[in-house]
């Protein structure tokens, strides 16, 4: 059974600081997703990482994937209040022949950015 672990689960940051959220998973997969969720809302797609060594950046967020270590990171640079949300990583439970779009999610990281 695929397991996905995120840490930390809670992260309180000051504006302007940098931090990294880690996502470890238990089985081979080269398809990893990061989502953002605001309170009471749905999941907003942030990044799709489709191969080993993939790195994607959007604004103050950068995500990377190391399939050999089974690890993805979401790095936050110079945090601002608007980044406050819950961030989820999710791994596609690939089987032979490609994806069946069956995501296993981490528990999420509740990020609070304080002024």
Q: Which of residues 10-69 bind another protein (CB under 8 A)?
A: 31, 33, 35, 41-45, 48, 50
* Binding of residue 3 to another protein (CB under 8 A): no
Out of 73, 84, 104, 110, point to the residue binding another protein (CB under 8 A).
104
Strand partners, 25: 4
Nearest to 108 by CA among 82, 84, 85, 87: 87
In the shown chain, the binding pattern of residues 79 to 98 toward another protein, with x for contact by CB under 8 A and - for none, equals: ---------x-x--x-----
Output the six-digit token pair for 37: 């969720």
Q: Rank residues 72 and 93 by Cβ distance to another protein and give the closer one.
A: 93
The torsion angle over the Cα atoms of residues 6, 11, 17 and 21, rounded to 10 degrees, is 0
Residue 104 CB coordination number (10 Å)? 17
Binding of another protein at residue 100 (CB under 8 A)?
A: yes
The least distance separating another protein from the CB of residue 67, rounded to whole angstroms, comes to: 15
Half-sphere exposure of 44 (CA within 13 A, CB side): 11
Q: Which residues bind another protein (CB under 8 A)?
A: 31, 33, 35, 41-45, 48, 50, 88, 90, 93, 99-105, 107-108
């Amino acid at each position: 059974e695929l397991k996905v672990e995120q840490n930390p689960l809670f992260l309180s940051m000051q504006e302007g600081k940098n931090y990294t959220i880690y996502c470890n998973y238990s089985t081979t997969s080269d398809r990893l997703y990061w989502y953002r969720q605001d309170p009471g809302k749905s999941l907003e797609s942030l990044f799709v990482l489709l191969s080993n060594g993939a790195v994607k950046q959007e604004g103050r967020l950068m995500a990377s994937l190391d399939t050999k270590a089974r690890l993805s990171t979401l790095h936050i640079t110079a945090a601002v209040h608007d980044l406050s949300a819950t961030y989820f990583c999710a791994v596609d439970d690939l089987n032979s022949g490609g994806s069946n779009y069956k995501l296993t999610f981490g528990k999420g990281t509740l990020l609070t950015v304080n002024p």
